[in-house]
Structure 1
Amino acid sequence: MQVQRSSITSDILGRYYTNSYVGAILVSSMGAISPESVLDLGAGDGVLTAAAAKIWQDATYYTVDIDENARSASLPKLLGSSFRHHVGDALSSAIEKELGLNLGCADLAICNPPYIRHQWRKGFASILEDAGLSHVLPKLADMPAEILFIAQNLRFLRKHGRLGLIVPDGVIAGERFAGLRNALATEHCIERVIELPRGIFRKTEAKAHILVMSKSGEGPDEILVQRLDESGVLSPELKIRREQATGRLDYSFLARGMGNKRTKQTRIGDVTISLSRGSFSSSQRTKCDFPVLHTTDLGPAVDVVSRKFCMPSALAKQGQFNLAKPGDILVGRVGRNFEEKVCIVKSGTVAVSDCIFILRVAPEHRDSVFAYLKSSPGREALSFSSHGVGAKFLTIDALRNILFKSK
C-alpha cells in the first residue's frame, strides 16, 4: 500500500495533520490491550481517535483541541456518547477538571503534538515536574510543545498506562534531546520507535517517528526500532537495549551502523584534526567585499573549490575569520540535498558561510574520507546522520560519528 500524503501542511498552530494510514500503524503498534479510557490531546482532525475506535470499540474517548472548528469536535455527534470532546488548551494545568478525567486514570493516550514553542507559562513547570521531565533540558523555558505534550499525557496516564505519539525527528535523533530519551527509557519505558518516511506531511520534508511507551520504569529491556517505507511496508525490527536510548533511535542511522560492523570501519572523528563551521551568516555574506562560499555554490558536480573563491592574501593573514585552507574538506550541513554538497580546497584560502562545515583530517586519511563522502554510500551516510523537522541538518557530532573504510 502506498502511503498517501496529507492534504494539509502545518497551520498557524504548528499542527501537522496525521495521515490516516499512519494513524492505523500507530494504533496497531500499541499492542494487545483493552483500554477503558483513551485520551487524545490536540486531537485535530480526530484521525488517531478514529483509528483507535476501530480497535477498542468499548472504550470511552476524551478528545481536546484548542480550535473550536477542529473536526474532532464532531466525534461525539458522529460516533456517540462514548466520545467526549473539550474545546480548550490541552496544556492547561487544570485541564482534568474541564475534561472530566482525573490525572493518573487514563489507560491509554494517543497524540500528534504541534511542532511549535509556546510562550512560557508558570503552569508548564508543574506539568513537567509531575511527569518527571523538568530536568531534560537546561532551561525550563526552552521546552518545546512536544515535550510539554508528552509530560501532560504522562500526567493523565495510570501506572503502566500506554502512550503512542507522533514526534519530530529531534526527539528521537537530536543530541539536544538525549536527556529526554534517557528519562523516557529509564524512568518510564520506551517500547517501540517507527521511523516515518520524509514527505508524510504534504509540502514539507518534515521527518517524524511513532513513539510507543508506557508509564513507569518497568517493561521490556529492549526497544524495538523499525522504519515504514513509502510503500507502507514495515522493516524488520532492530533491538536496542534501553540504556542505549540516550543515543539515536532512528532506524536509518542504527541500521547503517549495524551493517558497518561487518567490515572494519573508522570514525571520521578519529582522524579529524579540527571540525568547525564557517564564520559568515547569510546576511553577513552579502555585505562582504570578498567572496564567501555558500551551499548554493556547491553541488554533486563540484569536487574542488573554484579559485574565484580564494580570499585576498592580505585579508587572510589578518586571522579574523575561520577560513578553509588547502586540504580542507567542505561539507554542507543544512538544507535539501546538503549531502551532495561536498568539495575540497586545493589552493588558496577560502571564506565559507556558517552553512558549511570545515573538516580538516589527518593527511594520510584525507583522500579516503573525501572519496567516501563524495560516493553514493557516503551521501547516504550524511543523509541518514541528519535530522530535523523541516530542513535537514547535520551536527558536528553526527559528522564525527560517520564511519568510512580507511586504507
Structure 2
Amino acid sequence: MIELNQYYTPESTSLALASMLDISNVRSCIELSAGEGALVGPLKASNKNIKFTTVDIDQSNSTKLANLYPNDVHICGDALDKNIGLKNDSFDLAICNPPFSYVDNSDKYSYLLTGKFGTLLSKNKRLRMEVLFILRNLQLLKPGGTLAVIVPDFILNSRPLLNFRRILFDRFELFNVVECGYGSFKKTEAKTYILFIKKVNKSKFSKVVPVISIVNGVLKKNSIDIENAIKTVEKVEPNSGYEIFRGCTSSKLCRESRRDFHHNYSGLENFSNVTYKVYSAELPKFKYAKFNDVLINRVGRSVGDTVILASSNVIVSDCVIVIRFHRASLREAFIENWTRDRADWIKLHVKGTCAKNISISSIKSYISTLGKVV
C-alpha cells in the first residue's frame, strides 16, 4: 500500500454515506482515490445497476478492485491527472475519501483552478488535496449530479479556507452533512465530515443544512445555518480589554535559548500558578508571557490545559496561547467561566488531522460571550 496520508474508510462511515444517498436513478459513479473500495460495496448492495469507475494510484488496490468488481472500470493512476482518460460531465454520482494533506502547487493543477477558484488559489504555493479532489469530482459530475466527499474538520471550519467555502457553496448546493466523531479513521485523530454537494447553479446560499452527528455509534440530528457560517465563521470583533497571541518559536529553538520557557507541558494542574527563573533582559525573536497572563496549551494531548503565570516574563513556545487581560473584571469572568466550561468547550472546538489543536479565533469567540456577564 502506498502511503499518501490516505486514511481508509471504515465500514461505519461507508454505511453512513450510502444511507444518505438516493441512488435509485443513479447509473454511473466515479470514485477517485478509491483505496480498497470501502465506499463501493454499500452502494452496489443498494443498486446493482450502477456502473462504477474507480481510480487509485496504488496498483495493489486497483488489482483488488478489479477482482472484486470485474464488470466495472478500474484505473491505476493519479486521479488528478487531467489526461487519465476521464470525461467531464459524465457521472451521476461521485464518492470520495481524498488524501488529507497538502501538495505543492504546479501547472499540473491549473485546469482545476479556473474562474473564481483560480483567482483565489492559483498563486498559493501549496494546496489542500481535499480541495483539488472536490473540484475534480465536480468537473466529472453531470449537471444535477451529487458528490459525497469525506473531509477533515479543517476543510469545513478553518479560517484559511473561508473564501474557498464561500465560492464553493455559492456556486453549488451543500444539502446534507454528516459529522463523524474523533477517531473515526485509524492513524488520525481528525474530526471528519461527509459533505453532500449537488452540482447545480445557485443564486444564493442555502439557509439551513441538516447535520447528522455520529458519536460512538449514536446518531444525533442537528442543523447549521450555512449562510451565517460561510459569512462569519471565526470572525471576531476587535478585542476590548485583552490581548491574545501564541508563541512564535518551536520548543527546540526555545531550548536552544538556554532559558526557562513555557511549553504545552502535560501534568500541570489546571488553573495552578507556574513560576520560572527571571532574567534581566528579553531575547529577540521570542515571544514572552508576563505576570498574571493566562497560558493555554494550543496543541497536543494536553490541548486546552490552562495555567496562570505567577512570575515575571518567560518565553512561550508556539504550542501555547497567551491571554493578557487589561480589565480585572473580564479576567475574573474568564477564569470563573473557563474553569466550568473548559472541558466541554474543548470537546466541541478541538480540531486537527494529525494533532488536536484549538485556535485563537475560537477562544476570541468564547471571550466575546463574556461581555454579557462583565
Match for residue 145 of structure 2 among 150, 158, 161: 161
> Are the structure 2 counterparts of residues 42 and 134 from structure 1 closer, same or farther at C-alpha, using a change threshold of 3 Å?
same
Give the counterpart letter for 1:196 in structure 2: C
- Are the counterparts in 1 of residues 274 and 308 from structure 2 also a CA contact under 8 Å? no
1:147 CA displacement: 0.8
Q: What are the within-5 Å matches in structure 2 for residues 77-226 of structure 1?
A: 77-81=67-71, 83-95=72-84, 97=85, 101-129=86-114, 133-137=117-121, 139-218=123-202, 221-226=207-212
> Are the structure 2 counterparts of residues 141 and 306 from structure 1 closer, same or farther at C-alpha, using a change threshold of 3 Å?
closer
Match for residue 23 of structure 1 among 11, 14, 17: 14
Identify the residue that residue 214 of structure 2 maps to in structure 1: 228
Alpha-carbon displacement from aligned partner over 1:320-368 (angstroms, at most 9, x marks no partner): 74322222111111112312x1011234222221211110122111122
1:105 CA displacement: 1.7
- Are the counterparts in 2 of residues 269 and 399 from structure 1 also a CA contact under 8 Å? no
> Are the structure 2 counterparts of residues 350 and 119 from structure 1 closer, same or farther at C-alpha, using a change threshold of 3 Å?
closer
Q: Secondary structure at the match of 1:336?
A: coil
1:73 aligns with 2:87: no
- Are the counterparts in 2 of residues 332 and 342 from structure 1 also a CA contact under 8 Å? yes
- Are the counterparts in 2 of residues 342 and 374 from structure 1 also a CA contact under 8 Å? no
Distance 1:186 1:171 in 2: 16
Identify the residue that residue 330 of structure 2 maps to in structure 1: 365
Distance 2:361 2:122 in 1: 19
Q: Secondary structure at the match of 1:228?
A: strand
Alpha-carbon displacement from aligned partner over 1:1-31 (angstroms, at most 9, x marks no partner): xxxxxxxxx9621110001121110122224
> Are the structure 2 counterparts of residues 29 and 135 from structure 1 closer, same or farther at C-alpha, using a change threshold of 3 Å?
farther
> Are the structure 2 counterparts of residues 104 and 319 from structure 1 closer, same or farther at C-alpha, using a change threshold of 3 Å?
closer
Identity of aligned residues (%): 26
> Are the structure 2 counterparts of residues 349 and 243 from structure 1 closer, same or farther at C-alpha, using a change threshold of 3 Å?
closer
Identify the residue that residue 284 of structure 1 maps to in structure 2: 253
1:326 aligns with 2:294: no
- Are the counterparts in 2 of residues 133 and 151 from structure 1 also a CA contact under 8 Å? no
Distance 2:33 2:328 in 1: 54
Structure 1 stretch 215-224 or stretch 166-175: which is displaced more? 215-224
1:395 aligns with 2:359: yes
Q: Secondary structure at the match of 2:3?
A: coil
Q: Secondary structure at the match of 2:102?
A: coil
Distance 1:127 1:201 in 2: 28
Give the counterpart letter for 2:18 in structure 1: V
- Are the counterparts in 2 of residues 38 and 61 from structure 1 also a CA contact under 8 Å? yes
Distance 1:139 1:74 in 2: 38
> How many residues get paired?
367
Identify the residue that residue 6 of structure 1 maps to in structure 2: none
Identify the residue that residue 260 of structure 1 maps to in structure 2: none
Match for residue 303 of structure 1 among 271, 274, 292: 271
Identify the residue that residue 343 of structure 1 maps to in structure 2: 307
Identify the residue that residue 406 of structure 1 maps to in structure 2: 373
Identify the residue that residue 47 of structure 1 maps to in structure 2: 38
Distance 1:50 1:154 in 2: 22
Give the counterpart letter for 1:363 in structure 2: A
RMSD across aligned positions (CA): 2.6
- Are the counterparts in 2 of residues 272 and 359 from structure 1 also a CA contact under 8 Å? no
Gaps of 5+ in 1: 1-9, 254-266
Identify the residue that residue 223 of structure 2 maps to in structure 1: 238
Distance 1:321 1:11 in 2: 40
Q: Secondary structure at the match of 1:176?
A: coil
Give the counterpart letter for 2:252 in structure 1: S
> Are the structure 2 counterparts of residues 148 and 373 from structure 1 closer, same or farther at C-alpha, using a change threshold of 3 Å?
same
Alpha-carbon displacement from aligned partner over 1:376-397 (angstroms, at most 9, x marks no partner): x223213422311111122221
Structure with more strand by fraction: 2
Give the counterpart letter for 2:82 in structure 1: S
Distance 2:52 2:80 in 1: 18
- Are the counterparts in 2 of residues 274 and 360 from structure 1 also a CA contact under 8 Å? yes
Distance 1:344 1:268 in 2: 25
Query: What is the TM-score of this pair, normalised by structure 2?
Result: 0.89
> Are the structure 2 counterparts of residues 246 and 56 from structure 1 closer, same or farther at C-alpha, using a change threshold of 3 Å?
farther
Gaps of 5+ in 2: none
1:287 CA displacement: 1.3
1:247 CA displacement: 4.8
Alpha-carbon displacement from aligned partner over 1:162-209 (angstroms, at most 9, x marks no partner): 000110110011111111211221111111222111111224312211
Distance 1:388 1:294 in 2: 19
- Are the counterparts in 1 of residues 274 and 307 from structure 2 also a CA contact under 8 Å? no
> Are the structure 2 counterparts of residues 44 and 337 from structure 1 closer, same or farther at C-alpha, using a change threshold of 3 Å?
same
> Are the structure 2 counterparts of residues 50 and 373 from structure 1 closer, same or farther at C-alpha, using a change threshold of 3 Å?
same
> Are the structure 2 counterparts of residues 220 and 350 from structure 1 closer, same or farther at C-alpha, using a change threshold of 3 Å?
closer
